[in-house]
Amino acid sequence: MGQITLQDVQKSFGPVHIIKGADLEIADGSFVVFVGPSGCGKTTLLRLIAGLEDVSGGKILIDGKNVVDTPPAKRGLSMVFQSYALYPHMSVRGNIGFGLKMAGLSKDETNRKVEAAAATLNLTPYLDRKPRELSGGQRQRVAIGRAIVREPKAFLFDEPLSNLDAALRVQMRIEVTRLQKQLGTTAIYVTHDQVEAMTMADKIVVLNGGKIEQYGSPLELYEKPANLFVAGFIGSPKMNFVTGEHALQKGAATIGVRPEHLKIERDGAGGWQGTIAVAEHLGSDTFLYVDAGPFGMLTARYIGELSLHAGDRVSLVPDPARIHRFDAGGNAIRG
Amino acid sequence: MARMATTRRVVISTIGAWFFGFLIFFPILWMVLTSFKTELEAFAIPPSFLFFHWTTENYVTVQERSDYFHHALNSVIIAGGSTLIALLIAIPAAWSMAFSPTKRTKDILLWMLSTKMMPPVGVLVPIYLIYKSFGLLDSRIGLVFILCLGNLPIVIWMLFTYFKEIPRDILEAARMDGATIGRELVYVLTPMAIPGLASTMLLNLILAWNEAFWTLNLSTSNAAPLTTFIASYSSPEGLFWAKLSAASTLAIAPILVLGWFSQKQLVRGLTFGAVK
């Protein structure tokens, strides 16, 4: 079991409020991603759950038990650090088995569990090596091995893939997701990369300035962003925002349209007209950055190749069903 | 062309390095050579470098006149004891300052270093009088105490810098793994700090071994370490260069041997953290 509930969790460092009251319900076995720009408090929130920082207020419940006064080791969670934080003087076997050794398990029992974890992560040939003799991806797997061997109630991941190169990151992303599904253990994963968030999560928590902006499944966040911040943060390339008279006509202070929901028309008379400033041809997609005068710079995405170039005139027609409306406070207007 | 220029540069810098190395080593070499000369040859002008009458009579005289092993034992006790006590105090001090610093940590560190800025001679008279009243003059415990206090700031500073290099993440990982503070110290922190601890210990041993101001002023015979033993050969009777050299060679030999065998550790410790 690994159900985690946050009730009005707060954290301040002196006069600075880092977490301004977070409420959250994390179901057993789910994969939850905390995402947000740097400094939004996502790592702090994770460290509060881990017990590496003390809360300034509120409750953290693990399986219904308040753990705010419980030391990290007794919470039954395990953590994978951004820097891997492997013990440099211990072998892979020693690293993975350290937690079991501290828990007082017998040597045989420890070895059996360590070898099982190593087999799951394809680390068996490296068990007697030191961390410095391993590649980045292997070190990452040792850090994950150290987390899974203790059979925790939940895994806490603090930007674990950000030190890997792009190709390896995609591969590890899939491995971590597969492993979590296979073990069925609750996971909380912190990242600033919204692609990682969208691909890995069952549910995403979008954080900004120490507040939870929205909590929902990846598609909910994509299709029904609660406010301007979530709308701009989720989705790549970013959603286009248009203010002023055009928005007022639709009964909103701001309207947003995703680049993939803009229909591109050559020499069209309707929609938002402008000149292409930059055209990016990726083969699979074409991205157009259009200078649309009073509407500002707009991004449009076309699936497949479109032979348009910088300087061409186009008009962009928003899909009326896919227009997001926001009020003056930045909150979404529904209906 | 470029390769030739590189080769030439390597040759020149190698010759230069050897030259400076020799220059630094020369006083020790000269001392060792002099210790094997007769008193007459020791101050002959021009001096003979290698072609003189080699003799070990200085060593025999030195051992006859003063008990080398008595002084050597004192040196071992004083240098070893002061280093051990300094480390016992400094490890927890540096550990707490490195891992749970407060607003005043920097000030405390600087204040400790500031005590090293005061010339020891400035407090010689009060210390001497205090030692006299407590009966600590010419006692090993008294010398252990003063050398320990004298080197403590440097020991704490060195350990503090080593401990600071240990990533916090690793200690947090140990905490998540269920290690108590005691076990964290034994299984994680200490093994990672060993290069730093070893070099601090060695440097402190060398400093304490060669410390002459307090040992000369606070000891005469009972507790006198090798520094006092050397000093007794530059006495009012006049200078006996050859015997002085023999005494000095004997005095530095143990620490030189120790330094030689631990030089790898020493260099690693002193450059710890310089290269990532």
Same domain flag for A128 and A275: no
Same domain flag for A245 and A224: no
Residue of A nearest to B179 (CA): A102
Kindly determine whether residue A79 and residue B173, on different chains, have CB atoms separated by under 8 Å: yes
Same domain flag for A83 and A173: yes
> Is residue A278 less than 8 Å (CB to CB) from chain B?
no
Percent of residues, chain B, with pLDDT higher than 90: 26
- Tell me whether residue A66 is in a domain: yes
Residue of A nearest to B167 (CA): A85
Listed by number, the residues of chain A in 81-110 with a beta carbon closer than 8 Å to a beta carbon of chain B are 81-83, 85-89, 98-99, 102-103
Beta bridge partners of B135: none
- Tell me whether residue A236 is in a domain: no
- Rounded to whole angstroms, the Cα distance separating B268 from B196 reads 8
Same domain flag for A175 and A311: no
The last residue of a domain, from among A203, A231, A259: A231
- Tell me whether residue A332 is in a domain: no
Same domain flag for A306 and A277: yes
- Rounded to whole angstroms, the Cα distance separating A192 from A43 reads 10
Q: How much is the pLDDT for A168?
A: 87
Tokens standing for A128? 């007697």
Q: How much is the pLDDT for B270?
A: 58
- Tell me whether residue A331 is in a domain: no
Average pLDDT of A73-102? 92
Q: How much is the pLDDT for A34?
A: 96
Q: How much is the pLDDT for B1?
A: 55
C-alpha B198 chain-centroid distance = 13
Tally of CA atoms within 13 A in the half-sphere of B115 that contains its CB: 14
Residue B76 near residue B70, CB atoms below 8 Å? no
Per-residue pLDDT tens digits for B211-244 = 888 888 888 888 888 888 888 877 666 677 888 8
- Tell me whether residue A45 is in a domain: yes
Residue found by looking up tokens 């057993």 in the block: A28
Q: How much is the pLDDT for B252?
A: 87
What residues contact residue A328 under an 8 Å CB cut-off, 6+ apart? A253
Average pLDDT of A250-266? 92
Same domain flag for A199 and A305: no
Burial of A68 (0-12, 13-18, 19+ CB in 10 A): middle
Chain B environment of A78 (Cβ under 8 Å): 176-177
Per-residue pLDDT tens digits for A88-99 = 889 999 999 999
Q: How much is the pLDDT for B274?
A: 42
Per-residue pLDDT tens digits for B155-207 = 999 999 888 888 888 989 999 998 888 888 888 888 888 888 888 888 899 88
Average pLDDT of B44-71? 83
Listed by number, the residues of chain B in 166-205 with a beta carbon closer than 8 Å to a beta carbon of chain A are 167, 169-170, 172-179, 183, 187-188, 191-192
Same domain flag for A48 and A166: yes
User: Residue B273's pLDDT band (boundaries 50, 70, 90)?
Assistant: very low
Chain A environment of B103 (Cβ under 8 Å): none
Per the model's pLDDT, the better-predicted residue between B272 and A71 turns out to be A71
What average pLDDT does the structure give for chain A?
92
- Rounded to whole angstroms, the Cα distance separating A151 from A148 reads 5
Average pLDDT of A312-332? 92
- In chain B, what are the domains? 2-57 (no CATH), 67-270 (1.10.3720.10)
Same domain flag for A191 and A258: no
Is ipTM strictly over 0.95?
Answer: no
Chain B environment of A163 (Cβ under 8 Å): none
Q: Is the pLDDT of residue B69 over 90?
A: no
The last residue of a domain, from among A197, A213, A231: A231
Same domain flag for A245 and A220: no
The last residue of a domain, from among A179, A212, A231: A231
> Is residue B261 less than 8 Å (CB to CB) from chain A?
no
Q: How much is the pLDDT for B180?
A: 85
Kindly determine whether residue A87 and residue B188, on different chains, have CB atoms separated by under 8 Å: yes
Same domain flag for A214 and A279: no
How close A50 comes to chain B (CA, Å)?
8
Kindly determine whether residue A99 and residue B177, on different chains, have CB atoms separated by under 8 Å: yes
Q: How much is the pLDDT for B173?
A: 92
Percent of residues, chain A, with pLDDT higher than 70: 99
Within 10 angstroms of residue B142's Cβ, the number of other Cβ atoms is 21
What average pLDDT does the structure give for chain B?
85
Kindly determine whether residue B175 and residue A98, on different chains, have CB atoms separated by under 8 Å: no
Same domain flag for A87 and A165: yes
Min mean pLDDT across A174-183, A204-213, A277-286, B266-275 is at B266-275
Same domain flag for A210 and A252: no
The dihedral sign for the CA sequence B14, B17, B23, B26: negative
Q: How much is the pLDDT for B16?
A: 94
For A144: left if phi > 0, alpha if psi spans -120 to 50, otherwise beta; the answer is alpha
Chain A environment of B188 (Cβ under 8 Å): 87
Min mean pLDDT across A50-64, A304-318, B11-25, B224-238 is at B224-238
Query: Which CATH number do you get for residue A262?
Result: 2.40.50.140
Per-residue pLDDT tens digits for A45-59 = 999 999 999 999 999
pTM: 0.76
Per-residue pLDDT tens digits for A105-128 = 999 999 999 999 999 888 999 999
How many domains does chain A fold into?
A: 2
Query: Which CATH number do you get for residue A102?
Result: 3.40.50.300
- Rounded to whole angstroms, the Cα distance separating A21 from A9 reads 5
How close B270 comes to chain A (CA, Å)?
20
User: Residue B275's pLDDT band (boundaries 50, 70, 90)?
Assistant: very low
Beta bridge partners of A272: A316
Kindly determine whether residue B174 and residue A81, on different chains, have CB atoms separated by under 8 Å: no
Per-residue pLDDT tens digits for A149-207 = 989 999 999 999 888 888 888 988 999 999 999 999 999 999 999 899 999 999 999 99
Residue A22 near residue A47, CB atoms below 8 Å? no
Kindly determine whether residue A103 and residue B178, on different chains, have CB atoms separated by under 8 Å: yes
Q: Domain residues for A314?
A: 241-326
DSSP per position, A36-49: -STTSSHHHHHHHH
How close B169 comes to chain A (CA, Å)?
5
Within 10 angstroms of residue A170's Cβ, the number of other Cβ atoms is 15
Best to test chain A binding among B162, B175, B177 (most A CBs inside 10 Å): B177
- Tell me whether residue A221 is in a domain: yes
Q: How much is the pLDDT for B128?
A: 92
